[in-house]
Amino acid sequence: MPGIGLVLPTGKFHSKENGTSSTQEPGLQLGRGNVGLIGSLYQVYELIPHVLNQFASFSYRHTFRNGNGYQFGDQYLLSAGLNFQALDWLVLTGQLNWRYLVHDNFSGSLKQLLPTGAAVVLDPAIKDRRVPTTGSTTLMFSPGVTVQNLPFLPQTAVYFNAQIPVVRDFNNNLAQGLSFVVGLTRNFQLFGGS
């Protein structure tokens, strides 16, 4: 099943460093200030009907340059896994999640601040300079459990997944360790029906 999406600018992305007129670096901003496009594919197949199914998904996000001349790197996501219906109300999941983030990119000007406070322009037109400490490659193993359709919570599922790093390359940046995802989904009829 294919899908497309649009990323809209959210949050403030012109925040200044405390007590200065310098803009904070993009990774510290509350927002990104850019537009992006997302394309995705999702596939599922029942290996043993109503007991075991296999799923796979792929998505790609392209991000355009924001008003500060900063472009966050494109993102590729690939996931594959199995769902096992152990009981009517219990589903066990195992999946591999691969994520590749391309280096961010910057266009602007390079200045050096002198001790007197004056700025000397070193390069007035930096175009498409890669930000070396951005981008990453991650492979995670994610075991999980879903509890669903309990008598006191009909049409509701609660899930818990652990994300265990198998391979990590974060280009000398902060690396994600063991993490957890907890969530709740609720199905409901939007229009009419019985």
Tens-digit pLDDT profile for residues 103-143: 999 887 777 778 887 778 777 777 788 888 889 999 999 99
Q: Does 63 map to a domain?
A: yes
Per residue in 61-97, pLDDT (tens digit) is 999 998 888 899 999 999 999 999 999 999 999 999 9
139 lies in a domain? yes
Residue 192 falls inside a structural domain: no
For residue 193, name the pLDDT band (cuts at 50, 70, 90).
low
Domain count for the chain, please give it.
Answer: 1
Q: What whole-number distance in Å separates Cα of residue 73 and Cα of residue 83?
A: 32
Q: 53 lies in a domain?
A: yes
Domain that holds residue 64: 2-186
* Residue 116, domain member (yes or no): yes
User: What's the pLDDT tens digit per position in 37-67?
Assistant: 999 999 999 999 999 999 999 999 999 998 8
Does 119 reside within a domain? Answer: yes
For the entire predicted model, the pTM comes to 0.80
Has residue 166 been placed in a domain? Answer: yes
Average pLDDT, the chain: 89
pLDDT of residue 92: 98
Q: Indicate whether 191 belongs to any domain.
A: no
pLDDT of residue 62: 97
Q: What is the CATH number of the domain that holds 123?
A: 2.40.160
